[in-house]
């Protein structure tokens, strides 16, 4: 079970996420209270513990990232990007040519969410995403809703074979130490992604080391169960 702790805003939090057993940390360049400047991200990346994978959350415009962000990710060799915005076969091809692997986000609005994934895979045929991130739909946000989805929708799609040809699925949206084991037991994803669920209440971007540790433990217990 791969675990990504997203919305990391400091080198200290990145080190604590690694100590908690996370495989990856997410750096937000898209928006909201956890958005990083390139200078703040450079500080985090320069001190990132070994064997921890950084994932950059980026918005594509006309299929490309901003030049300053592209330079930063190249400098620190951040190969994984969680993409929002203009996700097409052409944009994924450009990212691949620059050495990136794209994680495409799909908002789960209802039980027919699999159509959105299949539409994306058809549009990007020949150069599909490396993984699919399933997040809860929110009309006012691209992601980071902090709200759980109906996991049964995903479980039924999986049981019915709708996901058999998909890339690996990473489950996001409202996960916490209290519910991640149940979510993993129902959905059986490749990985899970958490942000607000492991934070100090009322303090966006401030991670709680104990919550991170418990989240990782419970995610892997859910896989075993």
Q: Write a three-state SS string for the chain.
A: CEEEECCCCCHHHHHHHHHHCCCEEEEECCCCCCECCHHHHHHHHHCCCCCCEEEEEEEEECCECCHHHHHHHHHCCCCEEEEEECCCHHHHHHHHHCCCEEEEEEEECCCCHHHHHHHHHHHCCCCCCCEEEEEECCCCCCCCCCCCCCHHHHHHHHHCCCCCCCCCEEECCCCCCCCHHHHHHHHCCCEEEECHHHECCCCCCCECHHHHHHHHHHHHHHHHC
State the residue for tokens 């209440």.
201
Mean pLDDT throughout 151-174? 92
Name the pLDDT band for 120 (thresholds 50, 70, 90).
Answer: confident
For residue 176, count other CB atoms closer than 10 A to its CB.
Answer: 18
State the residue for tokens 């390139």.
38
Q: Identify whether the C-beta of residue 121 lies closer than 8 Å to the C-beta of residue 106.
A: no
Per-residue confidence (pLDDT) for residue 21, from 0 to 100: 98
Per-residue confidence (pLDDT) for residue 6, from 0 to 100: 97
Count of structural domains within the chain: 1
Asked whether residue 59 carries a pLDDT value surpassing 90, the answer given is: yes
What CATH number should be reported for the domain holding residue 103? 3.20.20.70
Asked whether residue 72 carries a pLDDT value surpassing 70, the answer given is: yes
Q: Give the range among 78-82, 97-101, 134-138, 168-172 with minimum mean pLDDT.
A: 134-138
Separation of alpha carbons 178 and 12, rounded Å: 24
**How many Cα atoms occupy the beta-carbon half-sphere of 70 within 13 Å?**
13
- The parent domain of residue 215 ranges over 2-224
Q: Identify whether the C-beta of residue 169 lies closer than 8 Å to the C-beta of residue 151.
A: no
Query: What's the pTM?
Result: 0.94
Name the pLDDT band for 61 (thresholds 50, 70, 90).
Answer: confident
Separation of alpha carbons 98 and 7, rounded Å: 24
Q: Identify whether the C-beta of residue 167 lies closer than 8 Å to the C-beta of residue 130.
A: yes
Mean pLDDT throughout 169-180? 96
State the residue for tokens 């049964």.
152
State the residue for tokens 């300053």.
68
Name the pLDDT band for 143 (thresholds 50, 70, 90).
Answer: low
State the residue for tokens 């809860």.
136
Q: Identify whether the C-beta of residue 176 lies closer than 8 Å to the C-beta of residue 194.
A: yes
Asked whether residue 46 carries a pLDDT value surpassing 90, the answer given is: yes
Asked whether residue 172 carries a pLDDT value surpassing 60, the answer given is: yes
CA torsion through residues 25, 29, 30, 33, sign: positive
């Amino acid at each position: 079970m791969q675990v990504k702790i997203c919305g990391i805003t400091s080198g200290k939090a990145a080190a604590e996420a690694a100590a908690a057993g996370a495989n990856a940390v997410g750096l937000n360049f898209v928006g909201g209270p956890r958005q990083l400047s390139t200078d703040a991200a450079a500080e985090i990346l320069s001190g990132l513990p070994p064997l921890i994978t950084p994932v950059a959350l980026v918005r594509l415009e006309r299929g490309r990232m901003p030049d300053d962000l592209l330079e930063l990710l190249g400098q620190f060799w951040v190969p994984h990007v969680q993409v929002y915005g203009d996700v097409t076969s052409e944009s994924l091809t450009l990212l691949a040519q620059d050495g990136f692997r794209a994680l495409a986000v799909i908002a789960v609005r209802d039980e027919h969410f699999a159509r959105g994934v299949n539409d994306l895979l058809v549009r990007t045929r020949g150069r599909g995403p490396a993984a699919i991130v399933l997040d809860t739909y929110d009309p006012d946000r691209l992601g980071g809703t902090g709200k759980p989805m109906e996991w049964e929708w995903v479980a039924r799609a999986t049981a019915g074979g709708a996901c058999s040809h998909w890339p690996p699925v990473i489950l996001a949206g409202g996960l916490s130490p209290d519910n991640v084991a149940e979510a993993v037991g129902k959905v059986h994803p490749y990985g899970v992604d958490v942000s607000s669920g492991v934070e100090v209440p009322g303090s966006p971007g401030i991670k709680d080391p104990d919550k991170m540790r418990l989240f990782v433990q419970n995610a892997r217990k859910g896989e075993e169960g």
